[in-house]
Chains A and B, each alone.
Chain A
Amino acid sequence: MSAPIEIRSAPHVQSAKTVETIMRHVVYSLLPICAFYVFQYGVSALASIVVVTGACLLTERFFVGTGTQAGRLPDYSAVITGLLLALTLPPGFPLWMGAVAGIVAIALGKALFGGIGFNVFNPALVGRAFVQAAFPTAIATYTPSFLPGRFAEFIPSTHAVPLMIPADAALWLKAKSLDALAGATPLAKWKFDGVLANADELLTSLSGHMAVGPSPLLILLCGAYLASRRFMDWRIPLAVLGSAALTAWLLYAFDATRYPNPFFMLFSGGLILGAVYMATDMATSPVTPKGMWVYGALIGLLTVVIRYYSGLPEGVMYAILIANAASPLIEKITQPVPFGRGVLDRVKKRATYPLNPGYISREEANAVTPKKRFLPNKPKK
């Protein structure tokens, strides 16, 4: 009598790094950014983060409950989606719209594709793209950061009644006689009014009351932590930022009066956040090193092009979504050549390699591939 032999398909070597570990560390690295964001905008930003993340988690719970999903609730991926989504929305974004964004992000961006690992597009960006198209006015309404009394009072648009138009933030600022402060993001100001923001303000926004997103410097720091722990590939952010800087610099050299300097391009808007946290989403970016460079470069180029030549001030979201769609193709054309094979002889298309029947284990030969069904427990007749 011999002990039963377990036969398994590859991979046989397991790393201690599970999806859950990686996701947990990404969440940890996002916490300081969220904390600073709350420090910038006060209690409204906190409410926004909590509600959006909550909506994501509840939606994830619902879909995991239907049994149609890969992944489990405690793998933290929905938390990441929620936090990132909240960070890309304006701090005074109405909570009910934030909840809509969260639900759409998980349901449309992830659950319909089959759960974690199967999604084609970054879920957080799908949610944001939906609310951008649905509520174009609300998503363009930013309020200045570091307002006095931000921890005691909500931005009035935050607690809009569901389905109703939020209160006008500009009127609220006027009532507090703060309307001299900028309500527009630096990018919108540049696009519509031709005003460039200063470099130091962009980096920290500590000195002024500029309406900016989460601090770029802090994001870079947290990203560096992730990259150093190998929880994230450093190539993608580097490629994104490098190609954006290069494109912006070329245009700046071409006509310095018309185009802003590359520094402004890099550190305004959501480019840093997008490059570090969204472009690097494992399910939606290529796995080949060469592919990562191509993918990142595409995002950087598209971002700058959209910012300059479209009607929108910000282009990171669409650039990443387009690159997400292109990433299977990028992966396909950047397949590494197997060792011992010349660069020139390509793998034949549709080549089949006969498998020695002796290699097929008995279990596998009898195994039936389980079909994916929409409903979990089909009763047997």
Chain B
Amino acid sequence: MSTADTPQTWDEFMEGVWRQNPVFVMVLGMCPTLAVTVSAINAISMGLATLFVLVCSCGLVSLMRRFTPKEVRIAVYIVIIATFVTAVDYAIQAISLALYEALGAFIQLIVVNCIILGRAEAHAAKNAPMPAMINAAGMGVGFTIGLLALGVVREILGAGTLFGVALFGAGFQPWVIMVLPPGGFFVLGAWLLLFSWWARRRPLKEAAQNV
């Protein structure tokens, strides 16, 4: 790849991480976002699993894009995605059973995560493998950041720990609500509020400077 391409590639990558962040901007994939972000470890594992599936399946979809008839494209995407999800499923079982139990059905449910199918249909099916995978990686990283943002807050308040390390000592009073489903909604809402406030603030400031 030439050096002239680099900024564009970087842009492509940052598209998913920031401007089109799947959690904060597109609000996609809410099912795992709300369900598994009880702790930072869970969140980051889920994010990485999704990232892997996203990059691999987008790469394969993009490779096959020339000879995939449009009548069967969704079937092809789903088979490809399901394959990599199965591989991830085995891999997580091999790494840690405790993690596997904590993530539960949500590993298998990556198959129906609309971020992945959306990327395959909207981007990978129309682009060469390299840009497709970079775009997918950006989305995956963005998703991981989103999950981590929720997981960190919920773990700190809900258990007083971060990545399993106690932050406040023995006497910490856990906020039980944070590890229950309502806590997921509250924290997600708070992040969305913060994110949209920040995203709107910047153009306003720029406009103010121009005046």
Q: Do chains A and B touch in the complex (CB under 8 A)?
A: yes
A367 an interface residue at 8 Å Cβ cutoff? Answer: no
| A165 with B200, Cβ < 8 A, contacts A133-B177, A133-B180, A381-B207 known | no
Q: Which of A94, A138, A165, A378 contacts B172 (CB 8 A)?
A: A165
B53 CB, min distance to chain A CBs, angstroms? 34
Chain B residues with Cβ below 8 Å from A374 are 196-197, 200
CB–CB B173/A166 < 8 A:
yes
Contact pattern, A 108-137, Cβ under 8 Å of B = 1, otherwise 0: 100000000000000000000010011110
A379 an interface residue at 8 Å Cβ cutoff? Answer: yes
Q: Which of B160, B171, B176, B196 contacts A134 (CB 8 A)?
A: B176
B163 an interface residue at 8 Å Cβ cutoff? Answer: no
CB–CB A135/B171 < 8 A:
no
B106 an interface residue at 8 Å Cβ cutoff? Answer: no
A163 to B172, CA, bound (A): 6
A175 an interface residue at 8 Å Cβ cutoff? Answer: no
Chain B residues with Cβ below 8 Å from A130 are 177
A226 to B140, CA, bound (A): 59
Residues of B in contact with A, size category: 20 to 34
Chain B residues with Cβ below 8 Å from A97 are 173
A164 an interface residue at 8 Å Cβ cutoff? Answer: yes
A7 an interface residue at 8 Å Cβ cutoff? Answer: no
CB–CB B207/A379 < 8 A:
yes
B94 an interface residue at 8 Å Cβ cutoff? Answer: no
Residues of B6-20 at the interface with A, using a CB-CB cut-off of 8 Å, are: none
B95 an interface residue at 8 Å Cβ cutoff? Answer: no
Q: Which of B173, B178, B208 contacts A379 (CB 8 A)?
A: B208
Main secondary structure of the interface of B (DSSP, over half): helix
CB–CB A134/B204 < 8 A:
no
Chain B residues with Cβ below 8 Å from A94 are 173
B211 an interface residue at 8 Å Cβ cutoff? Answer: yes
A371 CB, min distance to chain B CBs, angstroms? 13
A324 to B196, CA, bound (A): 29
Chain B residues with Cβ below 8 Å from A163 are 160, 168, 172-173
CB–CB B176/A164 < 8 A:
no
B175 an interface residue at 8 Å Cβ cutoff? Answer: yes
Chain A residues with Cβ below 8 Å from B176 are 133-136
CB–CB A134/B200 < 8 A:
no
B126 an interface residue at 8 Å Cβ cutoff? Answer: no
A375 an interface residue at 8 Å Cβ cutoff? Answer: yes
| A164 with B201, Cβ < 8 A, contacts A133-B177, A133-B182, A134-B178 known | no
CB–CB B177/A378 < 8 A:
no
B208 CB, min distance to chain A CBs, angstroms? 5
Q: Which of B160, B175, B180, B204 contacts A135 (CB 8 A)?
A: B175
A167 to B160, CA, bound (A): 18
Q: Which of A108, A138, A165, A381 contacts B171 (CB 8 A)?
A: A165
Residues of B181-209 at the interface with A, using a CB-CB cut-off of 8 Å, are: 182, 186, 196-197, 200-201, 204, 207-208
B interface residues (Cβ-Cβ under 8 A, vs A): 160, 168, 171-173, 175-178, 180, 182, 186, 196-197, 200-201, 204, 207-208, 210-211
Give the top 4 A-B pairs by smallest Cβ distance, nearest first. A133-B177, A134-B177, A134-B175, A164-B171
A and B contact pairs by CB, cutoff 8 A, 27 listed: A94-B173, A97-B173, A108-B186, A133-B177, A133-B180, A134-B177, A134-B178, A135-B175, A136-B176, A161-B171, A163-B172, A164-B171, A164-B172, A165-B171, A165-B172, A166-B173, A374-B197, A374-B200, A375-B200, A375-B201, A378-B204, A379-B207, A379-B208, A379-B211, A381-B207, A381-B210, A381-B211
